[in-house]
Structure 1
Amino acid sequence: MKKLHKLAVAYVQNYLSFLFLNPLFSQNINNVYLYGSAVRDELTDNSDIDVFIDCSPKQEKEIENAARAASSRFYVSKDYEKWKQFKFTYPLSIHAGTLANWQLKTSVASEGILLYSKSMSITSSLRMVLFILTLPLNKKKYLRFVRRMHGRKEKGYKEHGLLKEVGGKKLSGNVIIVPKENQHKVMSYLLKEKVDYSFKEISVFE
């Protein structure tokens, strides 16, 4: 599945909300990066999601311990239960230290996604909504739904679906992502077709 990095960004940001419950840590953390296989859309069943926390060497152990404690709280939270619906529950591999002195600094610098920075506000995020759908079991209803949602492409005929009209994307067979400003259009159609769903608002960084 491509575009897994967008799910990974939202997943790690959700985790960070548990770490930053203690304002002391947000003051001592300079930057937080997502890097590795999640960024490259190369996650497998055995993958971890790699997170690097850039901080002062004096704070390294304390922040790393706090970060792992926060991950333990995240794993037993209601938020984590929601991620199970997306089948996106990869373990977090968290390291803390000074980026300039870290052995994988080249990897982080070349491919890393900046998720948090104390020195600057990140304004290039888009508010998106992830939908996980319960697809119709009836074949006729299923085909009608898929054609309207994703469009049709046959010999000599092409029709765009609702997802393209609202600027959304298909992430998997039953998971789609839609700009927040257009979520009502998708919800209205799902209600009309009596398609059950759950959803979660996230930030996506381009």
Structure 2
Amino acid sequence: MNLKEAFRFQNKLQSLMEEAQSILGDDDNITRVQNTYLRRKVMKDFQDETTEEAPRTEYSQQITAVAEFLLYLLEEREKLTVAICRAKAGLDLPAGLDGQVSLNARRQDIARLLRHMAGLRSSEVVIPNGGTGYCFNNEGNQVSYHCDVKRVTTIHFDRNKIRKMCAALSRKADAVSAELDAVLITTQVDYTRPFDVNDTFAEAFGIFTGDGD
């Protein structure tokens, strides 16, 4: 598989592990609860009645197998992680794959900021009744009044330079993105997945236990 597929399967393994942990982490799934109603103690003609609480999961009869499956998934996650690490180590990227991905995310963030700056314009608007104040009227009483406000906004930077910076950074980010996409597709990872990435938990568990189709 290539790196892109490897990362996708890594996420799949994590998702399956979380589902297994959720099953095992619920005491109602891993214990059996029986309630016996001691009716004969209060009514000698009655019989005691025992009921069992229904489990929350369909895997209630396979809890030990689910635990084994969880450890199996962890082993597969370790194998895949090692294989991905080895594949990434052979890449000709100065900052490494993770470093390049992180750096390019910052480039894209800064490009969005510069694009916002480049879109700003100087402006002048009048805000009706936008200002308030106090004065004394003819009777000598202090009263409030409203007045219009002229708001002048002026950009405080060289827009042309900002535009050029934004364009250059965007080109760089796009080029690196294309390079990273190519790397993800062409770089091979020495790992064979034990089930399909689209398999459900039940399907993957069935393959593990030998009950799958």
**Fold agreement, TM-score > 0.5:** no
Q: Which has the higher helix share?
A: 2
Task: Please indicate the TM-score interval, normalised by the length of the shorter structure.
Answer: under 0.3
Q: Which has the higher strand share?
A: 1
